[in-house]
């Protein structure tokens, strides 16, 4: 079979950063297959696909489509050749309707006039054809992220693409939306479409792809059939060494209670109840995992504990003292650390230097300032220490951090939060968007802190992460604790049913019914 | 490391320099259309803006004198912008600071060692109070500081106009003005016949103090972090509201100081039409100076020189209307606003240069 796409010897240097993003990369995709392209952040996946889509010009190399050598200088050329791309950050007009977005620039007109009715019908027919139901009249800004992505896919299909490039399509989705997307991709592949799927989540690769190509440091490491490979092997190819997918944990040394929530209630930005009457304790030396589907009150809970938002009722005790009135700074001075879910906007200030990012929670210390003046020398020594201790490869004291990769940025956050021996750490989605190597690092570091005697509240929507790290699991559902489980004995089914709002009794009945069915 | 720092500095000044050069090229074209000698007009522009004919009688000294209030209002905008407050209230703060200094200059009588400092401090306090108001409105009630400061500028202009016309009016001359301030309250100038003096030194000190404050003190750090990312500041434990109000106080004080110095060092009184848009020019100076104290210092001098050269030099020597000076400055602002154009071309030029270098190396080694 002739490959649908063949890229040969693609090389691209970025002069401004002196990085060889693609180094003689060969890449080929069979027609009708789902081909995963994996690699760590900065491995060159997106560069390679941007070259294929005409967004970047390669320094050298050739591209063939159906064995025909072609030139792609501009996305228009790519679309001409049936290549469509769905970007990680959607390119939709929020105030337009679904139909207006999908038909943008190719609207059917009569005597130069638009016909809204006809547009809606066209899009409804399109959605029907590909079995991707959408409401053509809905405004894009009102749609959930998963729906917006569907609009992007329809937009590409409407432009007669036969080859779809999806750039990290699952990074922004909830687990349910991921499942729906997997079904969509499988359906497209059955209809004869070729899908290239960029990701660094290996579980998804195994569930959706036919073949997988691995990139590392701008080079193509190899291509495998998914049926003939495994997650550990792919992880090894991606990182270039053996990776611990599950951290090893020592026996828990449980200490005193370090943080206690007593009957707390919190409202969200719209004034609606996000957390209602929740109580729990976190001890020193233990990791308490908060599992739950995103949007069940996790953000509000974390903001209230860290002091970024206030409580409606109840009280929070830290080291035995009520801290309801304490400011963020006072809580931090008492030994609270916080790894926030959004490192780009909350956890870091990308407009300033590494040094200034590292001192935000402790510039008031006598170590870093005296008589109101910052002690620049100590600060840059501290920055150097953090860079070394957390091996933040690309970061240099005194320089900006905007160009660092996601993994390195998270290392900056983790480095800042964990230097200074915190007594209690909130880790909210600490590995979101990170590659295997960085996830391993963050997990290892958190477990080390636990072993040193810190209490950790781990909030994550990734079930695997909660299961792997926690000593105790609390499941949050619609602002209440749906159940508490001992992580050593809990099963994924148990956590799953609690996350969906059920309770453990239901599960037992279901299992008993299953067994009876088997017997009869 | 050092190399990096030089490169950064070069990047910072390259865009404004290219913008000024483009503005001058446009000026040449405009002069050409007037059928006047282009090269000669450049020479006159520079000798009348930045030149020096004899010791102690320099036009450049006048440029520096004109630059003094511009430096201070520019710094005022820098402090506000860096702290995330888009305050354009410099004009109003400047006017009220000037009125306060002018009033205390003739209404009270103190020995020289006290009188001048009292006036300077009064100007700063009044300016600070006038900056504090929109700051509090913003923090407590969420009133957009851009809008409130515009309104407050108009209010201040009318208040000062009233003061000069009625309570502070010295005589019934055609142009309303206040009495001349006491000699003890006047700022010394360095050369007879020029008004370039102590005020300029104060402005230079302010440049250095603002730089140290913003980048070397805890308070400055808080203000910049709160200005760049409020979420980040909140997360780190910085009290953004307090930082914002502090920024408005300092910003107001600097603009008020500019007003006081202009009264004490240049006019010795306040009169109707006292501000000729100095507050707004300060705003432009801050933006062209890359919102940096040193940038403001350079741009303020450059601006004042261009204005003098174009307005006086070209008009007197070549009969070119003085409005041309304003036109050139307008073009320069336009070119800086289009800074992206230069940045992209600079990057392209650099890439081209490195590619050439690497291909040459390849050829030599191959």
This complex has an ipTM of 0.83
Report the phi/psi class of residue B239: left, alpha or beta, with left for phi > 0 and alpha for psi in -120 to 50: beta
Is B238's CB within 8 Å of A360's CB?
A: yes
Residue A211 belongs to what H/E stretch? strand A211-216
Categorise residue B94: left if φ over 0, alpha if ψ from -120 to 50, beta otherwise: alpha
Please give the Cα distance from A461 to A429 (Å, whole number).
Answer: 7
Can you give the pLDDT at residue B3? 62
The closest of B170, B125, B158, B126 to B273, measured between CA atoms, is B158
Nearest to B237 among A332, A342, A356 (CB): A332
pLDDT number for residue B51: 84
DSSP B45-109: HHHHHH-EEETTEEHHHHHHHHHHHHHHHHHHHHHHHHTT----THHHHHHHHHHHHHHHHHHS-
* B149, B92 Cβ separation under 8 angstroms: yes
| Chain A nearest C-alpha distance from B215 (Å) | 8
For B131, the token pair is 């900056």
Each residue's pLDDT tens digit, A165-217:
998 888 777 777 888 889 989 999 999 999 999 987 888 889 899 999 999 88
Q: What is the mean pLDDT of residues A275-291?
A: 95
* Cβ of residue B242 closer than 8 Å to a chain A Cβ: no
pLDDT of residue A15: 64
Within 8 A of A409 by CB-CB distance, chain B residues are none
Strand order in the sheet with A5-14: A19-29, A5-14, A60-65, A68-70
Supply the pLDDT for residue A348.
Answer: 93
Which run of H or E residues covers position A336?
Answer: strand A336-339
DSSP-derived pairing of the beta strands A313-318 and A472-477: unpaired
C-beta separation of B263 from B181 below 8 A:
yes
The domain limits of chain A are 5-239, 252-335+422-520, 343-421
Tokens of A150: 């569907």
- Verify whether the Cβ–Cβ distance A372 to B354 is below 8 Å: no
With the CA atoms of B260, B262, B268 and B274 taken in that order, what torsion angle do they form, in degrees rounded to the nearest 10? -100
Cβ–Cβ gap B235/A347 under 8 Å: yes
Identify the residue whose tokens are 């209690």.
A424
Residue A11 reports pLDDT greater than 80: yes
Record: contact A345-B225, CB cut-off 8 A: no
Angle, vertex CA A312, rays to CA A308 and CA A317, nearest 5: 65
Closest CA to A166 of A179, A177, A174, A156: A156
The per-type count for chain B, helices as H runs and strands as E runs, is 15, 2
The tokens describing A210, both together, are 């036919």
Beta bridge partners of residue A166, listed in sequence order? A86, A197
pLDDT recorded at residue A241:
80
- Name which of B228, B238, B239 is nearest A351 (Cβ-Cβ): B228
Please state the CATH superfamily assignment of the domain spanning residues A5-239 in this structure.
P-loop containing nucleotide triphosphate hydrolases (3.40.50.300)
**Mean pLDDT in residue range A321-334:** 93
Chain A residue numbers with beta carbons less than 8 Å from the beta carbon of B4 are: 399
> In chain A, which residues have their Cβ closer than 8 Å to the Cβ of B347?
16
pLDDT in tens, chain B (366 residues): 456 667 767 776 777 788 888 888 888 898 888 888 888 888 888 888 888 876 666 888 889 999 999 999 999 999 999 999 999 999 999 999 999 999 999 999 999 899 999 999 999 999 999 999 999 999 999 999 999 999 999 999 999 999 999 899 888 788 889 999 999 989 988 887 788 889 999 999 999 999 999 999 999 999 999 999 999 999 999 999 999 999 999 999 999 999 999 999 999 999 988 887 887 888 888 988 889 999 899 989 988 888 888 777 888 888 888 777 778 778 877 887 777 677 777 777 777 777 777 677 667 664
* Pairs across A and B, CB distance < 8 A: 76
* Interchain contact, A345 vs B4, CB within 8 Å: no
Q: Is the CB of B218 less than 8 angstroms away from the CB of A347?
A: no
Tokens linked to B31: 């002069």
Give yes or no for residue A112 having a pLDDT over 70: yes
Question: What CA–CA distances, in Å, run from A381 to A84, A323, A359, A366, B305?
Answer: 49, 33, 12, 15, 44
Residue B65 and residue B195: Cα distance in Å, rounded? 6
Q: Does B354 touch chain A (CB under 8 A)?
A: yes
Widest pairwise Cα distance in chain A: 81
CB contact (8 A) between residue A15 and residue B235: no
Contact A364 B350 (CB under 8 A): no
Q: For chain A, which residues lie within 8 Å of any Cβ of chain B, measuring from their own Cβ?
A: 15-16, 306-308, 327-332, 338, 340, 342, 345-349, 351-352, 356, 359-361, 363-364, 369, 372-374, 376, 398-399
Nearest to B236 among A16, A360, A369 (CB): A360
Q: For residue B1, what pLDDT is reported?
A: 45
3-state helix, strand, coil in chain B (%, to 5): 80, 5, 20
What gap in Å lies between CA A425 and CA A289, rounded to an integer? Answer: 12
CB contact under 8 A, A360 and B4: no
Averaged pLDDT for residues A96-112: 86
B225 contacts A356? CB cut-off 8 A: yes
B269 touches chain A (CB under 8 A): no
Element (H, E) at B348: helix B339-365
Q: Find the residue in B nearest to A14 (Cα).
A: B351
Name the burial class of residue A491, with classes exposed (0-12), middle (13-18) and buried (19+) by CB atoms within 10 angstroms of its CB: exposed
Phi, psi of A226 (to 5 degrees): -60, -35
For B237, the closest chain A residue by CA position comes to A329
Look at the block and give the residue holding tokens 């309303």. B176
B82 interface with A at CB cutoff 8 Å: no
Inter-chain CB proximity A328 and B237 less than 8 Å: yes
In Å, how far is A347's CA from the nearest CA of chain B?
Answer: 6
- In this prediction, residue A373 carries a pLDDT of 94
φ, ψ for residue A85 (rounded to 5)? Answer: -130, 135
> Taking the CB of residue A227, how many other CB atoms lie within 10 A of it?
8
- The answer, for B237 touching chain A at a CB cutoff of 8 Å, is yes
Return the CATH superfamily for domain A252-335+422-520.
P-loop containing nucleotide triphosphate hydrolases (3.40.50.300)
Contacts of A99 (CB under 8 A, 6+ apart): A116, A119, A120, A122, A123, A136, A137
B216·A15 Cβ contact <8 A: no
| Residues contacting residue A194 through CB under 8 Å, at least 6 positions apart | A4, A5, A29, A30, A31, A32, A33, A35, A162, A163, A164
| pLDDT class of A124 with cuts at 50, 70, 90 | very high
Residue A75 neighbours by CB under 8 Å, 6+ apart:
A53, A54, A55, A85
Percentages (nearest 5) of helix, strand, coil residues in chain A:
35, 25, 40
Find, in chain B, the residue whose alpha carbon is nearest to that of A368: B218
- Cβ B131 vs Cβ B252: under 8 Å: yes
Strand A109-110 relative to strand A194-199, pairing:
unpaired
pLDDT for residue A507 is more than 80 = no
Q: Return contacts of B38-43, CB within 8 angstroms, 24+ apart.
A: B40/B318, B41/B314, B41/B318, B41/B320
Distances (CA, A) of A305 to A66, A115, A255, A300: 57, 53, 20, 9
Q: How far apart are CA B88 and CA A268, in angstroms?
A: 35
Cα separation, A10 vs A26, in Å, equals 7
Model confidence pLDDT, tens digit, residues A13-22? 876 556 788 9
Three-class SS string for A346-385?
Answer: HHCCCCCEHHHHHCCCCCCCCCCEECCEECHHHHHHHHHH
The 10s digit of each residue's pLDDT in A129-141 is 888 888 999 998 8
Q: Does residue A262 surpass a pLDDT of 90? A: yes
The pLDDT of residue B190 is 84
As a whole-number percent, the residues of chain A with pLDDT over 90 amount to: 48
Can you tell me the distance from the alpha carbon of A191 to that of A209, in angstroms, rounded to the nearest whole number?
A: 15
Asked if B281 and B303 count as a contact pair (C-beta separation under 8 A), the reply is yes
**Chain B residue with the nearest C-alpha to that of A332:** B237
* Closest CB to B231 among A345, A356, A398: A345
Yes or no, beta carbons of B351 and A16 under 8 Å apart: yes
CA A52/CA B343 separation, integer angstroms: 27
Average pLDDT, chain A: 88
Residue numbers in A near B229 (CB within 8 A): 345, 349, 351
The single-letter DSSP state of residue B186 is S
Alpha carbon distance A377, A367 (integer Å)? 11
| Same fold across A5-239 and A252-335+422-520 | yes
């Amino acid at each position: 079979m002739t490959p649908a796409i063949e890229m040969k010897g693609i090389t691209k240097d970025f002069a401004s950063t002196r990085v060889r993003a693609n180094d003689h990369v060969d890449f080929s995709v069979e027609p009708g297959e789902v081909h995963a392209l994996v690699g760590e952040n900065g491995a060159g996946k997106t560069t390679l696909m941007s070259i294929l889509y005409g967004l970047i010009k390669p320094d050298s190399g050739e591209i063939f489509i159906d064995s025909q050598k072609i030139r792609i200088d501009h996305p228009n050329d790519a679309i001409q050749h049936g290549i469509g791309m769905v970007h990680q950050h959607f390119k939709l007009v929020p105030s337009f309707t679904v139909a207006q977005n999908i038909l943008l620039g190719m609207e059917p007109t009569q005597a130069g006039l638009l016909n809204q009715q006809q547009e809606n019908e066209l899009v409804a027919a399109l959605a029907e054809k590909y079995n991707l139901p959408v409401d053509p009249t809905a405004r894009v800004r009102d749609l959930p992220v998963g729906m917006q992505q569907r609009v992007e896919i329809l937009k590409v299909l409407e432009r007669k693409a036969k080859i779809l490039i999806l750039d990290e399509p699952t990074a922004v989705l909830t687990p349910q939306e991921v499942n729906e997307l997997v079904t969509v991709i499988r359906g497209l592949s059955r209809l004869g479409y070729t899908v290239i799927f960029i990701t660094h989540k290996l579980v998804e690769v195994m569930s959706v792809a036919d073949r997988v190509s691995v990139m590392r440091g701008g080079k193509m490491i190899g291509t495998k059939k998914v049926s003939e490979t495994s997650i550990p092997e792919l992880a090894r190819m991606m990182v270039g060494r053996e990776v611990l997918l599950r951290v090893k944990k020592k026996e828990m040394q449980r200490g005193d209670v370090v943080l206690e929530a007593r009957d707390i209630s919190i409202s969200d930005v719209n004034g609606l109840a996000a957390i209602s009457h929740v109580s729990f304790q976190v001890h020193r030396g233990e990791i308490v995992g908060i599992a739950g589907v995103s949007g069940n009150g996790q953000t509000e809970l974390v903001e209230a504990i860290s002091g970024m938002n206030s409580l409606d009722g109840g009280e929070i005790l830290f080291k035995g003292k009520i801290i309801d009135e304490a400011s963020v700074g006072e809580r931090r001075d008492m030994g609270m650390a916080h790894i926030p879910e959004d490192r780009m906007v909350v956890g870091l200030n990308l407009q300033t230097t590494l040094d200034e990012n590292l001192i935000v929670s402790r510039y008031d210390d006598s170590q870093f300032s005296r008589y109101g003046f910052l002690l620049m020398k100590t600060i840059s020594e501290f920055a150097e220490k953090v860079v070394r201790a957390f091996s933040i490869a690309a970061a240099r004291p005194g320089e900006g951090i905007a160009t660092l990769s996601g993994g390195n940025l998270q290392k900056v956050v983790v480095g800042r939060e964990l230097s200074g021996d915190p007594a209690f750490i909130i880790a909210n989605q600490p590995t979101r968007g990170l590659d295997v190597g960085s996830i391993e690092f963050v997990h290892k570091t958190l477990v080390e802190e636990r072993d040193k005697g810190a209490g950790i509240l781990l909030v994550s929507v990734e079930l695997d992460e909660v299961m792997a790290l926690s000593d105790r699991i609390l499941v949050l559902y619609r602002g209440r604790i749906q159940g508490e489980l001992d992580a050593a004995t809990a099963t994924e089914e148990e956590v799953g049913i609690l996350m969906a709002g059920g309770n453990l009794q239901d599960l037992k009945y279901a299992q008993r019914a299953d067994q009876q069915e088997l017997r009869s | 490391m050092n190399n990096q720092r030089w490169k950064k500095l070069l990047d910072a000044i390259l865009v404004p320099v290219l913008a000024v050069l483009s503005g001058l090229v446009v000026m040449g074209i405009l002069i050409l259309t007037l059928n006047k000698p282009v090269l000669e007009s450049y020479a006159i522009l520079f000798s009348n803006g930045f030149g020096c004919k004899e010791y102690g009688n320099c036009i450049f000294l006048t440029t520096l004198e004109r630059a003094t209030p511009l430096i201070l209002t520019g710094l005022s905008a820098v402090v506000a912008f860096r702290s995330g407050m888009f305050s354009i209230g410099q004009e109003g703060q400047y006017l009220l600071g000037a009125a306060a200094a002018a009033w205390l200059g003739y209404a009270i009588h103190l020995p020289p060692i006290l009188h001048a400092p009292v006036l300077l401090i009064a100007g700063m306090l009044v300016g600070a109070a006038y900056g504090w108001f929109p700051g509090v409105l913003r923090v407590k009630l969420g009133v957009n500081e851009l809008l409130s400061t515009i309104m407050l500028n108009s209010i201040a202009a009318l208040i000062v106009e009233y003061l000069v016309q009625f309570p502070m009016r010295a005589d019934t001359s055609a142009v309303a003005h206040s009495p001349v301030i006491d000699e003890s309250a006047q700022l010394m100038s360095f050369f007879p016949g020029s008004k370039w003096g102590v005020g300029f030194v104060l402005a230079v000190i302010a440049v250095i103090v603002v730089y140290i404050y913003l980048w070397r003190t805890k308070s400055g750090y808080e203000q910049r972090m709160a200005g760049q990312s409020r979420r980040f500041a909140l997360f780190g434990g910085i009290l953004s509201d307090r930082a914002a109000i502090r920024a408005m106080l300092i910003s107001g004080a600097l603009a008020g100081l500019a007003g006081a110095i202009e009264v004490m060092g240049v006019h010795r009184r306040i009169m109707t039409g006292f501000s000729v848009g100095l507050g707004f020019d300060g705003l432009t100076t801050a933006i062209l100076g890359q919102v940096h104290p040193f940038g403001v210092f350079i741009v303020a001098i450059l601006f004042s020189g261009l204005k003098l050269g174009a307005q006086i030099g070209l008009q007197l020597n070549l009969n070119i209307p003085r409005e041309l000076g304003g036109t050139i400055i307008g073009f320069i602002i336009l070119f800086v606003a289009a800074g992206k154009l230069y940045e992209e071309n600079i990057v392209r030029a650099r890439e081209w240069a490195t590619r050439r270098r690497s291909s040459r190396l390849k050829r030599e080694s191959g």
